[in-house]
Amino acid sequence: MLTFENPAISIQNVTKIFGEQTVLNELNFDIERNKITTILGFSGAGKSTLLKHILGIMNPTSGVVSVLGQDLSKLDKMELREFRRNFGMLFQYAALFDSFTAQENVAFPLKEFTKLKESEITEKVKDLLISVGIKEESFDRLPSELSGGMRKRVGLARGLALSPHIMLYDEPTTGLDPITTKMVNNLIVETATQHKDREMTSVIISHDVRATLEISDYVAFLDRGKIIEYLPVEEFKKSDKELVQEFLNL
Amino acid sequence: MITKLKTYLETKIEEFGRNLLDMVDGLGMITLFAGRSFYWMGKRPFRIRLLFEQLYSIGNKSMTIILLAGLFTGMVFCTQTYLGFKMINVDSLVGAIVAISLAKELAPVLTGLIVAGRAGSAMAAQIGSMKVTEQIDALEVMGINSIQYLAVPRIVAATIAVPMLSICFLFIGNLGAYLIGTTTLMIDEAMFFSKLSEFMVVADVAQGVIKATVFGFVIAVIGTYFGFQVEKGAVGVGRGTNQAVVWGMVSVLVLDYFLTTFLVKIL
């Protein structure tokens, strides 16, 4: 199992129990700063629960979740809300606000959390949308008028608006056609590269093994609440764990 | 035969008990939700723009239907009251009775029912569809409290808008009664107004306004609560919307009785 000196995210002995069901079982692992780490696993393996723990939306039954050196259990609710501004997130279906246009969606976190002037916000939104490949004629379109790929791009721009240190991707390529999958993958890599100088860690939660292996630096495999394999991507592909090989060959 | 009947009765009693417990549980959850909404009402930032948007959506957009309902309710109620009162030769009291009934009961209750059906369902549907498309998760991840952002403006707006709508209902209902009373039923115009001013007091209007304020608050709490409870896609949104309307309307009628009992003692 991999350990890092100064990880972006550290999960120490985390257990989460719902009723009689143990969803995360004494989970231990670190996520390296400035790298792309993918957490793979079958449906029901505990990936979404783990994501909610990293975001501080859910508290562990026992154990410690630290993000950027901060133990999340030590923060009160308001501090936790403030702390979440370190995160950006791209949801599976982008989760754009459907009554807002593309640019209003991206402007939303800037209006809520910064003291930027309207003109500065407009400028920043324009830069963000162009950086993810949205053309100006689409700025005023509602999410319902955008294609699935464009919605993902806008969702990513919104996630990046507050310059987060950790970018989370929840099933970014699940259910997409091969061309859009490639586009989203390129976008994740480009985003990680573009923002490397100011430190940005990317965490991908997925069960789309083929798409995510192409772009990851590290891969962890979660099964029934435990990390059963966690290696750099090339070594992960050669893992001798039966379940991992079964998953890779699906 | 007796065993079958016994099993049937046991099943029915069990079902009734379960439904009753679910209802009590639901009431408790709605009360907790109302408490959380209250808590977030007092916290910054105060989103005035969202409040005005909701005032427009709940208030302005309900106005046409409220005016139509009020006008015809006043006209029908005037006609029916006249037919009864004429038998005992007190048709001069029609205007006063219609006005008092509208002020104390019909205006707040019918306004409440209309808003529960129109705005309460819209609240549940909007928030419910945001829930199933992860828009609420997106708010939370950004560090924005979804209750403060989505529920509070709707609750405050409904609490302000419903009494205003109720006053409009009262005004237009009285206008309808006056038009029908003086033109079709030939009630003397001077008598209509003199009895109205003789019998109707400010407390009658106040009672209706207080009721409408409570109804507005409760309808919005129920509408937003069921929106947040939505799960399982479009079917869940439909179910949530349906529950918001049913609970909203039933709450208006049940609360009306308790509020009446309470308000007649203090006003």
- pLDDT in the model for residue B95: 92
CB contact A110 to B (< 8 Å): no
B22 assigned to some structural domain: no
Mean pLDDT across A34-55: 88
Q: What is the average pLDDT across A35-54? A: 88
> Does the pLDDT of residue B158 top 90, yes or no?
yes
Which parts of A3-136 are beta strand (E)? 9-18, 21-31, 36-40, 62-67, 70-71, 87-90
A109 touches chain B (CB under 8 A): yes
**In contact, B37 and B151? CB cutoff 8 Å:** yes
Query: Who's near A195: CB < 8 A, 6+ residues apart?
Result: A160, A163, A167
**Does B128 score more than 90 pLDDT?**
yes
Residue B98 lies in a domain: yes
Domain that holds residue B175: 44-266
A234/chain B closest Cα distance in angstroms: 32
The pLDDT assigned to A190 comes to 84
pLDDT per residue as tens digits for the range A228-245: 999 998 998 888 888 888
What's the pLDDT score for residue A92?
86
A72 contacts on B by Cβ (under 8 Å): none
pLDDT tens across B242-266, in order? 999 999 999 999 999 999 999 999 8
CA distance A128 to B146: 25
Helix (H, G, I), strand (E, B) or coil at A22: strand
A29 touches chain B (CB under 8 A): no
Task: Place B223 in a pLDDT band, splitting at 50, 70 and 90.
Answer: very high
Domains held by chain B: number = 1
Is B13 contained in some domain? no
pLDDT for the residue numbered A1: 67
Q: What is the mean pLDDT of chain B?
A: 94
pLDDT exceeds cutoff 90 at B178: yes
Candidates A54, A91, A92, A162: best to mutate against B (most CBs of B within 10 A) is A91
Are the C-beta atoms of A174 and A207 separated by less than 8 Å?
Answer: yes
Contact list, A162 vs chain B (CB under 8 Å) = 142
More confident call, A178 vs A64:
A64
C-alpha of A227 from chain center:
18
Q: Residue B61 — very low, low, confident or very high, per pLDDT cuts 50/70/90?
A: very high
B37 occurs within a structural domain: no
Locate B169 and state its tokens: 């209902």
| Residue range A108-124, pLDDT digits in tens | 999 988 889 999 999 99
Whether chain B has a CB inside 8 Å of the CB on A92: the answer is yes
Distance between CA atoms of residues A129 and B171, nearest Å = 52
Whether residue B2 is contained in a domain is answered as no
Cβ–Cβ gap A95/B145 under 8 Å: no
So what's the ipTM on this one? 0.85
**Whole-number percent of chain A with pLDDT over 90:** 44
Determine contact: A75 vs chain B, CB below 8 A: no
Whether residue B28 lies inside any domain: the answer is no
Q: Is residue B4 part of a domain?
A: no
pLDDT > 90 fraction of chain B, expressed in percent and rounded? 82
User: pLDDT of A52-74, one tens digit each?
Assistant: 899 988 889 999 999 999 999 99
Closest CA–CA distance from residue A121 to any residue of chain B (Å): 17
pLDDT reading at B152 higher than 90: yes
At residue A243, the pLDDT reads 85
Strand arrangement, sheet containing A166-170: A87-90, A166-170, A201-206, A36-40, A218-223, A226-232
Is B10 within the bounds of a domain?
no
- The residue ranking higher by pLDDT, B2 or B37, is B37
Using DSSP's 3-state secondary structure scheme, residue B84 falls into: helix
Q: Which residues contact A199 (CB under 8 A, 6 or more apart)?
A: A33, A34, A165
Closest CA to A14 of A56, A69, A51, A61: A61
